[in-house]
Chain A
Amino acid sequence: MAEIIDMPKLSDTMSVGTLVKWNIKEGQKVAFGDILAEVETDKATMELSCTVPGTVLKIYAPAGSQLPVGDPICAIGKAGEAAPDPKGKPVAPKASAKAPIPETTGIPCVPAAPAANAAPAPQSDASRTSASPYARRMAEKAALNVAALTGTGPGGRVVARDVAAAASAPVSAAPSGPINVAVAPPADGKGIQPDADIPVGGMRATIARRLLESKNTVPHFYLEVEVDAAPLMGLRETLNKRLAEQGGETALKLSVNDFILKASAEALRRVPTVNASWAGTSIRQHSAVHLSFGVALEDGLVTPVIRDAHAKSLRDIATDAKALIGKARSKKLSPAEMSGSTFTVTNLGMYGVTGFFGIINVPNAAILSVGATIKKPVIDANDRIVMGHRMVIGLSGDHRVVDGANGAQFLQALKQILEEPTLILI
């Protein structure tokens, strides 16, 4: 008997999937575990693996098609068998894989609802999440919310392997690309474009919804501090030189952002009141620093999460960040890798922006905005005008959780660490 493979539900909020690429052809033999296709969900591009070994009888929807969850995409059976009639008609293929997704699909992605410390608000979906009893028990033990996980079982059921993957928050081998935190600005402009309405894709819709919600509901306040970045630049140069001598071609190269991430984790350890979330009737303090950071993409941005950053060395943080940036660029970040942050760092320094204030990444209590290090005249301890390397750092805080004094203490700690950066080595 031929089996019809349906568009799977690959994330808890997925209602529509785009068939980015088929890896199979009609008539081809497929085995258990073979990758049939790549499917773009509202959160990530994921591989669809084969659960029914046999011969591909029919592909109902060509690459580029956008289909609701549950619609037939292909049929697998015995060689020579007639392909069954699909129950529903597939939607005609759209011009491109980035075709619009209706705004009503509701897609938390930047970041997805935090897994380890979900705010008490929308719990109603959890009861409707399909999860095996064993997966539910595992999730309970690991303090994970099954509703926030992506199920890979039949019909999108969350099974043990999904919980295990989320609990271990895997970071794959580092990609070979450079470790700039943002895409390089185009060398020459594209010129004025003709009038057009550009369809809003899943990621853009999520950014719009999440940030509007944050700016409208979170009482932001802003603090700014100027940091002497000369010692940091010096330390970075020395470390990178030594790393290159030891490691050659494959040597780890530390970015300025890696130092900021490490220093932020350390500053949160010293001022833990900032590592918290507004939870409606209580303030939830977090027992770990899960640090998310913005990665700019051509069509938006994502915020992958470095887990347990408070317990990681500079080298670990740099390695994790590099791997996550590589995954973000190739759209291979799993929803789990974008969930559960407790604090966010954004950096526009590489564009020469001197200072700014980001919008808080809910349910974080604050976001750090890092500007460029620039040379400028400063007055030194002897009241003389000298050349200095200065970096402006902004903090946007949620006033429900953090007051001005707490925020200031945090920035004070961060400034001290960055100005005496050898502290982060111990």
Chain B
Amino acid sequence: MAVITYREALRAAMREELQRDENVVVMGEEVAQFNGAYKVTEGLLKEFGPKRVVDTPISEAGFIGLGIGASMLGIRPVMELMFWSFSYVAFDQIVNNAGNIRYMSGGLINCPIVIRGPGNGGTNVGATHSHTPEAILASHPGIKVVCPATPYDAKGLMKAAIRDNDPVYVMENTILYNDKGEVPEEDYIVPLGVADVKRVGTDLTIVAHGRAVITSLKAAEILEKEHGVSVEVVDLRSIRPLDEETILASVRKTHRALLVEENKPFCGVDAQVAYIIQAKAFDDLDAPIGRVSSIDAPQIYCKRMEDEQLPHAARVVAAALKVLA
């Protein structure tokens, strides 16, 4: 299997889908001539031409609206947001129109749009460019949200998203763009709504998504070596639809759960996961559910403080030991 970066995996997914289906188009700010703000779409203009790979004006509300309209007529647009933080100026399009059109048309109109881009903190770009809106978006029925943590999942989830007939929002992570991993060259997808056990263990379940999975795997390594604790790491991959069964099966095995995410804690994804665990696996819990999130403050600009604000391995280890007490 080829070892490629998370960035290359995303690009390969778009390239293969552009080849496979002539209705697939890529649109966004600087995706074509500039090869993408983060070079995810590099080379696509050259290969597929300006009808399939389209630069848009700096107007998210405008071009996301364009994509939604096109998708209603059978085009499968893959829209890039330079940051998911910029989705907020297009919120009416993203949530109200894309999320509701199938329901409000009585099932007559599909909206097979993909919106993708980085949605993460930790890069010292300030409070307005560091949002992680997966919890906000996933709270709306009609919308699907995925957060790949590895190159394999990035490619498989992106391809599944493009082929899905509902709006699917892919939250990437700039810090992961250069991470390498094995990715098959043959065609595959990672189905939406299927979590993945990234590490098998017996004493504690860590549930995470996005880059928090990578942090949790590092913490699991430390917990195993320094504390003799066997940790299972469940990667949600999809926030909505959510794979409850994989979470519950793991908790029923280990009887202890720690939830790790890079969202702010208030109404984060893990608030919902914690509710599900206590409601459906109450009699399997041997300790209160633990949680590690970003520190509850606007994203801190100071680099060293921001590094502390996001979950890191030492914080995850400390929280794990508390759950294991």
Contacts and interface: CB of A to CB of B under 8 A. Distances in A.
- Interface residue SS majority, chain A: loop
Interface stretch (A130-138, A298-306, A343-351): A130-138
B325 A51 contact: yes
B321 A53 contact: yes
B252 to A, nearest CB: 9
B108 to A, nearest CB: 47
Contacts of A159: 286-287
Interface string A197-214: 000000000000000000
Contacts of B322: 51
Interface residues of B, number: 13
A153 B287 contact: yes
Nearest to B252: A134
A404 interface: no
A154 B283 contact: no
B321 A134 contact: no
B286 A134 contact: yes
Nearest to B255: A134
30 contacts: A31-B226, A32-B227, A32-B321, A33-B227, A33-B228, A51-B321, A51-B322, A52-B321, A53-B227, A132-B285, A132-B286, A132-B287, A133-B283, A133-B284, A133-B285, A133-B286, A134-B284, A134-B285, A134-B286, A135-B286, A136-B283, A137-B283, A137-B284, A153-B286, A153-B325, A154-B287, A154-B325, A159-B287, A160-B255, A160-B286
Interface in A30-74: 31-33, 51-53
A48 to B, nearest CB: 12
A132 B254 CA distance: 14
Interface string B289-320: 00000000000000000000000000000000
Contacts of B282: 133
B174 to A, nearest CB: 31
Contacts of B285: 132-134
B217 to A, nearest CB: 20
Contacts of B286: 132-135, 153, 159-160
A103 B203 CA distance: 41
Contacts of A52: 321
Contacts of B228: 33
B282, B286, B322, B325 — most chain A CB neighbours (10 Å): B286
A136 B255 CA distance: 13
Interface string A9-38: 000000000000000000000011100000
Interface string A246-282: 0000000000000000000000000000000000000
Nearest to B325: A51
Given A32-B321, A134-B286, 10 more contacts: A32-B227, A51-B321, A132-B285, A132-B286, A132-B287, A134-B255, A137-B284, A153-B286, A153-B325, A154-B287
Contacts of B283: 133-134, 136-137
A33 B325 CA distance: 10
A27 B325 CA distance: 23
A52 B322 CA distance: 8
Interface of A: 31-33, 51-53, 132-137, 153-154, 159-160
Contacts of B226: 31
A52 B227 CA distance: 11
Nearest to A131: B286
Q: 3 smallest A-B Cβ distances: which pairs?
A: A134-B286, A51-B325, A132-B286
Nearest to A32: B227
B283, B284, B321 — most chain A CB neighbours (10 Å): B283
Contacts of A133: 282-286
Nearest to B228: A33
A137 B255 CA distance: 12
Interface in B38-68: none
A136 B322 CA distance: 20
A154 B255 CA distance: 16
A154 B288 CA distance: 10
A31 B229 CA distance: 13
Nearest to B323: A154
Contacts of A154: 287, 325
B226, B287, B321 — most chain A CB neighbours (10 Å): B287
A133 B286 CA distance: 6
Nearest to A49: B325
Interface in B236-290: 255, 282-287
A248 B321 CA distance: 47
Contacts of B321: 32, 51-53
B230 to A, nearest CB: 14
A275 to B, nearest CB: 33
Contacts of B284: 133-134, 137
B214 to A, nearest CB: 23
Contacts of B325: 51, 153-154
Contacts of A51: 321-322, 325
Nearest to A152: B325
A395 B163 CA distance: 83
A33, A51, A134, A159 — most chain B CB neighbours (10 Å): A134
A164 B204 CA distance: 17
